Structure 1
């Protein structure tokens, strides 16, 4: 695991900027040409309301609604693209799809519009994914996200504000949570250095671990002692007779000092 996985590319700026500009373009078209896109939102449990699963994140009721969604999207999409570049497009696409379908299933009989569901997908994914990786930089990102956007959690409950789609928020939160488990990040996995870190490690085959009993007390394992005794005897014994002869060179003998 290393920090080389974090690479700044044009997509880190381009993806969130393009997405947000597209939202503003849709809103400009609605104002400029007098369209009413609200009816293209999610209308729960109706066949025509299914179109909102795809279209609703791009539709906003007024300028304030659009502005409040634009700023978090810029920040969260940039963070997603920088730290989770390999998973970013799938998280955005499936996040919109799954949160929309869940909203269609549980929502009130009204039109649900806005990109807030996607925002909750991103917050949930970044937070839970960072905790699951246990990589210190991603954990720090998770904490930063929850500090900045933690107050949004209240808006997944009913009766907090009847003018917002708490169902869409809850659907986005659930979808982001599920996606954090679905999409793995092996690039952030800690490399295995020792045998005991292997998933198929068996301590009964480890010579060192055989020196300890089930209570952690040091013991002399008979199996280990027999193997060591066999190695020692095989190393120091031989069937060949060896004769040693000591030769003294008189030239190298020490002389008394005069």
Structure 2
């Protein structure tokens, strides 16, 4: 059984998790920037998801690294930085285990549901998966950190609930939907991957517990546990008779 952390140790552990999650998210955003700079040197369409074609399956692995414009990569980079840091801080183990599901789910959603001949690229499906992962874990775990993370994610990216459906031409809602489904599945699979913090007790809960313990001690001191512990004040004649046997009484006049 692990020893509970002190408040100072807990703060240091929280800062360490935040630093690791932020660094990992920044590293991934830098990787996206490097890929965006490199993709203009060649025809990268073979690395995108082309729905329902065997060649297009390669894009399931590579399409999230590609982007079509500066605005595209900036929007996805900011979302990845914020949601990746949030998820990695609150759920470090669940987030690492969920990433393959989000990544592949995003690509498969585009490959299965997209229009034939179209090309899908971008990390928005992965960011939708992170958003739905945080949303659903907040509903499943319901501790303070989970609820706070879910509310923050909904505050900044609640619109993801709408962008998993077709709304705007040129936006790959199919990859959004695939990533969101991957996030929901991952939330159910890995909801216990990260231990929940001990729930602090309110003052009235502590007082009730102390009163209950005192009441148990009083009962143990002043009350007997069973009727057999009551001392016998009178024994009827023939005490060797069967215990509990009812004595016969004669009727009047007999």
Same fold per superposition (TM over 0.5):
yes
Instruction: Please list, as runs of the form range in 1=range in 2, the aligned pairs for 1:195-206 lying within 5 A after superposition.
Output: none
Cα deviation code 1:112-167 (max 9, x no counterpart): 10000001000000011011101122112111211211123322222x21111111
* Alignment gaps of 5+ in structure 1: 192-227, 240-258
In structure 2, how many angstroms separate the alpha carbons of the residues matched to 1:179 and 1:238? 70
Q: How does 1:161-200 map to 2 (within 5 A)?
A: 161-185=168-192, 187-188=195-196
1:103 CA displacement: 2.2
Task: Specify whether residues 89 and 230 from structure 1 end up closer, same or farther in structure 2 by C-alpha distance, changes over 3 A only.
Answer: closer
What is the total number of aligned residue pairs between the two structures?
201
**Unaligned residue ranges in structure 2 (runs of 5+):** 200-222, 235-254
**3-state SS of 1:171 partner:** helix
How has the CA–CA distance of structure 1 residues 138 and 229 changed in structure 2, closer, same or farther, with 3 Å as cutoff?
closer
Distance 1:43 1:118, change over 3 A: same
Tell which deviates more after alignment, 101-110 or 74-83: 101-110
2:25 corresponds to: 16
Name the CA shift for 1:229/1:29 in 2 (closer, same or farther; >3 Å). Answer: closer
Question: Which aligned pairs between 1:119-138 and structure 2 lie closer than 5 A?
Answer: 119-138=127-146
The answer for the alignment partner of 2:156 in structure 1 is 148
Q: Could you say which residue in structure 1 is the equivalent of 2:94?
A: 87
Residues 137 and 235 of structure 1: CA distance in aligned 2, closer, same or farther (over 3 Å): same
Structure 1 residues 1-258: aligned runs within 5 Å = 4=10, 6=14, 8-9=16-17, 10-31=19-40, 34-109=41-116, 110-158=118-166, 160-185=167-192, 187-188=195-196, 231-237=226-232
**Cα RMSD, aligned residues only:** 2.6
The alpha-carbon deviation at position 89 of structure 1 amounts to 1.4
